Amino acid sequence: MNREIQQLVTQYREACHQPLCAYVYDLDRLAQEARNMVKLLPKDTNLFYAIKANPDERILGALLPYVSGFEVASIGELKKVRKVSADVPVLFGGPSKKEYELRGALRAGVTYIHIESTLELQRLLLIANELQTSAQVLLRINLNYDDLPTTNVTMAGEPSPFGMEETEIERALKLVAHQNLVQIYGFHFHSISNNLREDLHVAMIDHYVDKVEEWQSTYGLDVKVLNCGGGFGVSYDENPSFDWEKFIAALKSSGVLDRVKGKQLLFEPGRRIVANCGYYVTEVNDLKQSQQEHFAILRGGTHHQRLPASWGHNHPFKIIPIEEWPYPFSRPTVTEERVNIVGELCSPKDRLHSQAEVSQLRVGDLVVFLQSGAYSWTISHHQFLGHDQPAFLYYRDKQFQSISRSDH
């Protein structure tokens, strides 16, 4: 969070007349991040944004000029994209597409549908014939791959509800034979989430290409598109995050790009694009000691920012000191102590950071949870206990563009 945003946050707090709780999205930084990533892309390679990481319409609008399109996993996400743009390319994924979603995808003119099973393909064939509408599909494959990078979330290389087995490819090809409406353009792989190792990611893509070459030879396929998914990681501790520039350089030197000449190579990151552009800011509402441990209780918590509880990590933060203290009684303060930073819910699991070392923390100070742009607000249980929602502040062109609670 730059100093200018920090000043605007403290000014907003002064106008609140209640403990501050807000998401802050730096749209200028987001646009710059997307520009930098796209600038490094090799020829015939496209960057899509997976909106599951954060589907906020203002974020989609800020990314629209830079990314090749958006990846969605439901008809609800598709509607969000189409509110931002009627014709931007869209990839439609998800393991449980309903008939109405497939119809909606065809009517909305999505670019590729990721097919996760032969049953889903059969449904799409019926619907395309009913609507007399063409569909371009990529088969999502769950590879038997023993050397996947180790991450918190794995979607392939093991029993999984995602994608189809390699042995199902032949059946899928037979299903689309002798008709022209539904065409298989290539394959989709999304095996892991939040990988931090660039070298292992390149090795994984190299394995994808090995398999595609094998299937081209076995089935006589003309593969036009290879979607290598996302999974580019962001570190929430002392480990380095995934280095996009290093990854692209390694990809170029690996020989993979020479092997996919004539094909479109797609990537669909979410977290890697937006995580560092968002902040969750909450005010310390109480400080107490219990059995030799200190607890800072926030106006906020995991009902707004569920990521640390979901992933089981201590979320990185910084403190914005607030000097104002409007009460006639003494201000609770801890100095040079370890503090558990917890939320306002009636649950011991409402914890964002355990045993954090702080030089000073006072009631009324602000705690800024960094890297809160992805998988934070939208995966949280907002209605639990009925607390007020946070404000949403958007920083663009050196000012807060809009402030809203109602449209989230």
Active site residues: 346
How many CB atoms sit inside 10 A of residue 113's CB?
A: 28
Per DSSP, the three-state class of 138 is strand
Specify whether the CB–CB gap between 298 and 363 falls below 8 A: no
Measuring CA to CA, which residue among 199, 185, 221, 216 is closest to residue 91?
185
Specify whether the CB–CB gap between 343 and 302 falls below 8 A: yes
Measuring CA to CA, which residue among 142, 144, 134 is closest to residue 116?
142
Measuring CA to CA, which residue among 166, 160, 157, 236 is closest to residue 200?
157
> Residue 6 phi/psi, 5° resolution?
-60, -40
Per DSSP, the three-state class of 78 is helix
Contacts of 313 (CB under 8 A, 6+ apart): 236, 237
Q: How far is 123 from 172, CA to CA, in rounded Å?
A: 12
Query: What's the maximum distance between 2 C-alpha atoms anywhere in the chain?
Result: 82
Specify whether the CB–CB gap between 72 and 91 falls below 8 A: yes
Task: Return the DSSP state at 146.
Answer: T
Q: How far is 383 from 306, CA to CA, in rounded Å?
A: 13
Beta bridge partners of 305: none
| DSSP per-residue letters across 274-324 | HGGGEEEEEEEEEEEEETTEEEEEES--TTT--HHHHHT-PPPEEEE----
